Amino acid sequence: MFFHTISLAESKFLFTFASKFEIRHQKQNNMKNLDWANLSFGYMKTDYNVRCYYRDGKWGEIEVSSEEYINMHMAATCLHYGQEAFEGLKAYRCPDGKVRVFRVKDNAARLQSTCRGIMMPEVPTELFEEMVHKVVRLNQEWIPTYESGATLYIRPLLIGTSAQVGVHPSKEYLFLIFVTPVGPYFKGGFASNPYVIIRDHDRSAPLGTGIYKVGGNYAASLFANNLAHEKGYACEFYLDAKEKKYIDECGAANFFGIKNNTYVTPKSTSILPSITNKSLMQVAEDLGLKVERRPIPEEELATFEEAGACGTAAVISPISYIDDLETGKRYDFGAQPGPVSKKLFDTLRGIQYGILEDKHGWTTVVIE
Ligand code: PLP
Ligand code: COI
């Protein structure tokens, strides 16, 4: 038999190890029994959502609800005049057992910009953050395992609720956040997909609401998106609405191209300022690439070595080729993701999952 008296240091180490194991074990045990690795990017009911009402010119207390439905007046401004805005971010269950959220303050700031754009009261950053943290903690059993590659999608929604038929901003608003576990936005995850330039439909105008995250932009994109799918493409690709000369967005994602060790992405007044794109520009710079944000004429597509679509849902969705049906041109970037896109993807994901150093302070631990 082998006896060993453990030292204080050893016992401390064992205790810390055991309690860390215990905490992780408990967390895993408290999770829903789902097929995490095979989730789609779809809606699934979770346990709670959080709500806050704006009345008499001020925001009220945060309320927790387990109700999926909203009881609303049929004349609410969000239903008739599109006074609604949303956001999208994710919570990641990390290999160290913690749960992190990514750049929450940036989503709060973008929502505030949207609020100014369509005359809604701004949701204060602290309220936004508190509600995000609360809804993630309340639904922690629904946060997918690290190994599955799935995440918890967080959907903040702001709607005008006052009953009126005149076209004016609402007086009352509901801000709510729900969460739902999601798998990859595109089936196949980090794999290249074909896109198609659609010229006869615009999702937004140069001085319109394209820079805001309002539902109307997405309604405006449905026809073109459906057309692209019917023709066998993953997504539609927009040129600027005024001149049809420059690249705007790819479906619900920003575009970037890579050439000569440079990350190039469009500067346009009709695209959503993507937080993923902003992060990738920084990561590219950190990795020693040059970064250019400027108008990109369509012909320049022919010069890129790699191209991708970027957004919260997919991080990067590499583009295999872009067809311009009007001119018959095909811009080819290869059937497999390129090395720079892969490096950018791995680095950003590494930061989101707490594996790589978060030197820009982008992540927040919500559950220790
Ligand atoms: N562009 C549009 C139109 C979007 O809907 C999204 C998704 O939110 C993006 C770009 C990407 O933005 P983000 O990286 O902040 O998710
Ligand atoms: C994204 O997160 O990249 C999106 O495009 C969100 C989409 C579901 C609206």
pLDDT per residue as tens digits for the range 213-233: 999 999 999 999 999 999 999
Rounded distance between C-alpha atoms, residue 303 and residue 324, angstroms: 15
Is 137's pLDDT higher than 90?
Answer: yes
Is 27's pLDDT higher than 90?
Answer: no
Residue 14: pLDDT band with limits 50, 70, 90: very low
- Average pLDDT of the segment spanning 24-50: 83
Q: Is 356 exposed, middle or buried (0-12, 13-18, 19+ CB in 10 A)?
A: middle
Rounded distance between C-alpha atoms, residue 149 and residue 296, angstroms: 33
Q: Is 234 exposed, middle or buried (0-12, 13-18, 19+ CB in 10 A)?
A: buried
Residue with the nearest Cα to atom 9 of ligand 2? 252
Q: Is 3 exposed, middle or buried (0-12, 13-18, 19+ CB in 10 A)?
A: exposed
pLDDT per residue over 338-361, tens digit each?
999 999 999 999 999 999 999 999
Is there a contact between 144 and 152 (Cβ–Cβ < 8 Å)?
Answer: yes
Global pTM value: 0.91
Is 9's pLDDT higher than 70?
Answer: no
Most distant CA pair in the chain, distance: 87
Nearest residue to 79 via CA among 163, 4, 9, 135:
163
CA of 6 from ligand 2 middle (Å) equals 53
Is 28's pLDDT higher than 70?
Answer: no
CA of 311 from ligand 2 middle (Å) equals 6
With both helix axes pointing from N to C terminus, report the angle between 339-352 and 275-286 in degrees, rounded to the nearest 10: 110
Q: Which residue has the tokens 């004016």?
A: 168
- Average pLDDT of the segment spanning 125-153: 96
CA angle 131, 132, 134 (to 5 degrees): 60
Is 126's pLDDT higher than 60?
Answer: yes
DSSP state of 143: S
Residue-level pLDDT at 307: 98
- Average pLDDT of the segment spanning 249-278: 97
Residue-level pLDDT at 30: 78
Of the residues 217, 254, 315, 345, which should be mutated to test ligand 1's pocket, given the most ligand atoms within 8 Å of the CB? 254
Q: Is the CB of 154 under 6 A from ligand 2?
A: no
DSSP string, 281-339: HHHHHHTT-EEEES--BGGGGGG-SEEEEEETTTEEEEEEEEEETTTTEEEE--SS--H
DSSP state of 167: S
- Of the listed ligands, the closest to the CA of 271 is 1
Is there a contact between 98 and 365 (Cβ–Cβ < 8 Å)?
Answer: yes
Q: Is 99 exposed, middle or buried (0-12, 13-18, 19+ CB in 10 A)?
A: buried
- For the chain, what percent of residues have pLDDT higher than 90? 87
- The amino acid that residue 355 corresponds to is I
Residue-level pLDDT at 29: 56
Both tokens of residue 141? 């059993």
Q: Which atom of ligand 1 is nearest to the CA of 275?
A: 15
Residue 12: pLDDT band with limits 50, 70, 90: very low
Residue 254: pLDDT band with limits 50, 70, 90: very high
- Of the listed ligands, the closest to the CA of 107 is 1
Nearest residue to 42 via CA among 182, 157, 178, 144:
182
Is 84's pLDDT higher than 60?
Answer: yes
pLDDT per residue over 284-318, tens digit each?
999 999 999 999 999 999 999 999 999 999 999 99
Is 7's pLDDT higher than 50?
Answer: no
CA of 310 from ligand 2 middle (Å) equals 9
Considering the chain, what is the average pLDDT of its residues?
A: 92
Would you call 64 helix, strand, or coil by DSSP? strand
**Residues 133, 138, 144, 146, CA torsion sign:** positive
Residue-level pLDDT at 16: 43
Q: Is the CB of 46 under 6 A from ligand 1?
A: no
Rounded distance between C-alpha atoms, residue 298 and residue 364, angstroms: 38
Q: Is the CB of 254 under 6 A from ligand 1?
A: yes
- Average pLDDT of the segment spanning 116-133: 98
Residue with the nearest Cα to atom 1 of ligand 1? 253
In order of start, what are the domains of the chain with their CATH numbers? Answer: 37-183 (3.30.470.10), 193-352 (3.20.10.10)
- Average pLDDT of the segment spanning 236-263: 97
- Of the listed ligands, the closest to the CA of 254 is 1
Q: Is the CB of 350 under 6 A from ligand 1?
A: no
**38 or 66, greater pLDDT:** 66
Rounded distance between C-alpha atoms, residue 82 and residue 88, angstroms: 18
Both tokens of residue 75? 């004349």
Is there a contact between 209 and 117 (Cβ–Cβ < 8 Å)?
Answer: yes
